[in-house]
Chain A
């Protein structure tokens, strides 16, 4: 034995940990917003009258959901430059995360749309609302209310999964941890601290989303 844990390096490392955490938060915010918007289109397309759209969205969802995020990330980051599309690591990470997120949330949003009673739509139409207004004002808010907990979970899962984008040298929290442990030779302590940071972030994110969701959706419903 004779190994003593040493956290002396931590003082000089707080800046790196903070900037890594900021990048992780930035990634998850961008991904959640774009992913959710995309998934509203995806879920609608899957319920549209056009079989091609239904099939295409269905295939996309199954393809993403049945392959690991890490492989999707490598495919995008290493594969796309072959087509002449050169991606910055951050852009590649955002693209991979958004595509991954949208597949899962398409299913979630779809379940929410299905949960809204048909009468709601008919009543709104009977009042003379345009079809798109019926969707935006009546169906979507009710669907979002139903799926909010599931959406929150998915966002937290995606934030935790974003740790692997360190593998394509995006300077987020895990990447900074890798750099720190290479410098301090204190691998266990470094990853221990960073794991705690992730834990705090996932608990905080969950609380924040629930608080914000309760207010925004309750307000939107009233």
Chain B
């Protein structure tokens, strides 16, 4: 039997944390890109597009992320895609993130006065240019605090991908716990690593909130 020292445990957990970080970054970036697309649906002038965006968001916010991951993991192979845990994890978190981010940004867009759109039109800008130059930059600026807040939620959500077999922090910790029978140390350290990742972002969110509150 292999003996694990405290440092062995910590080193293995830190190595596994790289995957948690990578997954968070990829899912956040992918979710931001897809989220803008969903946002465009959600604020579209056509009613059926708005509805489609609304249902998309409602679907992802109204079902457990774990079920979304399971459906992708077991569903995509039925469509003939070869899928690994990493693919399902990235895809699932990206789709879920896009729904949440779109909803956050929609709040930002709708908090802007109508005059912003009117001013854009009066300058002769067409719809896409109004969005790109006037509406979206302001909407993103207003919603920076909840966006960073969502990133914290996303980092924590990556823990669920351990259940479909992706080798990130929690899955590695389960294996180490089975080998060492030291659940306090192992899960304590795991919690600490997540805390170190998330807490600075949480603080940053607070600072952003205070800054926004002072401006108003």
Contact = CB atoms under 8 A, between A and B. Distances in A.
11 contacts: A3-B78, A62-B199, A62-B202, A68-B156, A70-B159, A71-B187, A74-B187, A191-B67, A195-B67, A195-B68, A198-B67
A22 B160 CA distance: 23
A68 B184 CA distance: 16
Given A79-B184, A192-B75, A198-B64, 15 more contacts: A1-B79, A62-B199, A65-B152, A65-B198, A66-B195, A66-B199, A67-B198, A68-B157, A70-B160, A71-B194, A74-B174, A79-B187, A160-B62, A188-B71, A199-B59
Contact of A195 (B71, B157, B158, B191): B71
Interface string A59-83: 0001101111111101100110010
A62 B202 CA distance: 9
B65 interface: yes
Contact of A63 (B68, B187, B195): B195
Contacts of B75: 188, 191-192
A75 B162 CA distance: 15
Contacts of A68: 156-160, 170, 194
Contacts, number: 112
A191 B74 contact: yes
Contacts of A79: 183-184, 187-188
A78 B66 CA distance: 21
B63 interface: yes
A75 B152 CA distance: 20
B138 interface: no
A156 B194 CA distance: 24
A71 B20 CA distance: 14
A179 interface: no
B160 A164 contact: yes
Nearest to A153: B61
A78 to B, nearest CB: 4
A69 to B, nearest CB: 7
Contact of B188 (A69, A75, A164, A202): A75
A161 B156 CA distance: 12
A201 to B, nearest CB: 9
Contacts of B191: 63, 67, 71-72, 75
A74 to B, nearest CB: 5
Task: Identify whether the interface residues of B are mostly helix, strand, loop, or mixed.
Answer: helix
Interface in B151-183: 152, 156-160, 162-163, 170, 173-174, 177, 183
B80 interface: yes
B68 to A, nearest CB: 8
Task: Identify whether the interface residues of A are mostly helix, strand, loop, or mixed.
Answer: helix
Interface residues of B, number: 38
A168 to B, nearest CB: 12
Interface residues of A, number: 37
Given A66-B202, A195-B71, A71 B64 contact: no
Interface string B20-47: 0000000000000000000000000000
B202 A71 contact: no
B153 to A, nearest CB: 10
B64 A74 contact: no
Contact of B159 (A65, A66, A71, A192): A71
B190 interface: yes
Most buried by A among B63, B65, B157, B194: B63
A72 B78 CA distance: 34
A62 B195 CA distance: 9
A69 B163 contact: no
Contact of A75 (B62, B64, B67, B187): B187
A187 B194 contact: no
B70 interface: yes
Contacts of B64: 160-161, 163, 174, 195, 198
